[in-house]
Structures are given as structure tokens and as C-alpha cells.
Amino acid sequence: MLADNNMEFFSRVVALLLAAPAIVFGFGVVWRVEKKLDLAFKLFLGAIVIFFAGEVSGFFFVPENSFWAYFAPGTKIVFALFFLAGMAEMRNMIRKIDGEK
């Protein structure tokens, strides 16, 4: 049981350490690009920030508290929506560049 908790804690810390620079790099890209690319990267950045918030919320999970019990799974859904929207925007932009309809 303790090993499972340690592994979960370790994986959460690693995910946060990897997501933090992605947020910094994402802000760097959004700051420099414009128009459609800007929208796609804003959606990607939003997805990463939501992912980060969900991972941080895992440190505060208390089974008796219903807010935290629903917050973390909710962030996964919002992350997926933002990421999917960013991918769709990027796909549409590339298709337009390639001359597709």
C-alpha cells in the first residue's frame, strides 16, 4: 500500500516537473505567434494549464470532500476538450496551407 502511494506521488511530481516547462514554452510561443496559430497554441496552453491544475489538485484529495473528488476527473475532461480543439485548429490550418478544402 505504501509503495503504491509513493509511486503515485512520484509520478505526480514528475508530471508536474514536465508540465511546468511546457507552460513556460507555451506562453513563449503564444507571445510570438498570431492569428490561427495563436488560437491553436492558446488551446494547447490552456490544456497544459488544466492538466497542471488537475495534478496539483491530487495533492489535496480528501475522500470526504466531494469538491476534490470531482475536480481532478473534471480537469481530465476539460484537458481533453482543449487538447482536441487545439489539434482540430492545427489540422484545419495545415489543410488550408496545403490547399485542401
Please write the tens of the pLDDT for every residue from 59-97.
777 677 777 777 878 888 999 999 999 999 888 888 888
* Residues contacting residue 29 through CB under 8 Å, at least 6 positions apart: 41, 45
Q: Is the pLDDT score of 20 beyond 80?
A: yes
Cα–Cα distance measured from residue 87 to residue 101, given in angstroms and rounded to the nearest whole number: 17
Judged by average pLDDT, the poorest of 7-21, 44-58, 61-75, 79-93 is 61-75
If you average pLDDT over each of 2-6, 24-28, 48-52, which comes out highest?
48-52
Whole-number pLDDT of residue 12 = 85
